[in-house]
Amino acid sequence: MLQYNFALFFGLAVQLYEATLISDDTPWDRFRRDHPAATDPKLNPWTNENPTHISRFALFGAHLFNDRTRGPNNLRCSNCHESAELTDASVRRINLAANGPVRNRDGNVIDKGFNNIGLRPTDDDLGVGASDAFGPLSHSKRLFPDSLPASFDGATITKGFGIEGAFKVPSLRNVALTAPYFHNGDTHSLREAVLLYSRGGNVAPVTQTDGTPIEPLGIANMTADEADAVVAWLETLTDERVRIASAPFDHPQLFVPNGHPGNQHRVERDSRGFAKDEMLEIPMTGAAGGPPLPGFLEGVFGPH
């Protein structure tokens, strides 16, 4: 029985192990544990001159990031990167009692946690708005396969679907370690990513392939100091245990495929005629951890 159900038991074992990997000891977590109330005056960078665990500059970045006030110069990042997970694509945020995984966002019916941010033209990659052999990938299209109602989620539908070109909103925990950014690796630094949001994306207007409008990002037009402050705050979301792979994030020696030996003309083949794999060693770390993870392209173009 165990052998027949090995895939099930293996999956459950990995699930239980991964549930122990909670990176909740970042400088920002420590600061918020000191000041858990949303009304705590210590959250105000204009009056808190010496915050604990983080810099005042990073606290200013947190203020910019979490300001949900509508306006032409507001980022409103936390509308999508919200709650402890810093994403509205988390299991906890998809409330099955409130329309499940579908919502009305500014007149567009979308999948919760998926957005078209105008990174590339929509028809470059339809993302969750595409279909496969079994039908639409989008929950929205499956919920309304024929036509949309006049209203949904407590508001009028004015723009139709907004699912084409939409991709999942990632968590921002340890984001300084996860470059390059966006679904296509469009940017290699946090500052580049922040500036993309500041200018309201790369493409305007944002539409579905049939011309239906998709509510775009706002244009924040951040100053250089504001962008740097947001980056400073994003860097406070790194759990040092993850950076150095210490317990519970330690691991044994691992070997992962890293391309094929050869050159730009040909690759080496094995006895079966298949391309040989080049293996990259990831050294083991113990409970105390190991060398810190390098930044993306660090040593190639220098640290970022």
3-state secondary structure of 207: strand
Q: Where are the beta strands (DSSP E) in 148-297?
A: 151-152, 155-156, 160-161, 167-168, 254-257, 279-282
Amino acid at 112: K
Contact 177, 238 (CB under 8 A): yes
- The reported pLDDT for the residue numbered 272 is 95
pLDDT tens-place string over residues 188-228: 999 999 999 999 999 989 999 999 899 888 888 899 999 99
Asked if residue 30 is part of any domain, the answer here is no
Asked if residue 11 is part of any domain, the answer here is no
Cα separation of 171 and 67, whole Å? Answer: 18
Asked if residue 4 is part of any domain, the answer here is no
pLDDT tens-place string over residues 56-103: 999 999 999 998 776 666 788 998 999 899 999 988 877 666 678 999
Report the domain count for the chain.
1
Q: Among 17, 2, 75, which Cα is nearest to 248's? A: 17
pTM metric for this prediction? 0.89
Cα separation of 28 and 235, whole Å? Answer: 9
Asked if residue 302 is part of any domain, the answer here is no
Asked if residue 171 is part of any domain, the answer here is yes
Domain hosting residue 177, numbered range: 91-217
Mean pLDDT for 114-130 is: 95
Contact 106, 161 (CB under 8 A): no
Cα separation of 290 and 293, whole Å? Answer: 9
Asked if residue 16 is part of any domain, the answer here is no
Asked if residue 284 is part of any domain, the answer here is no
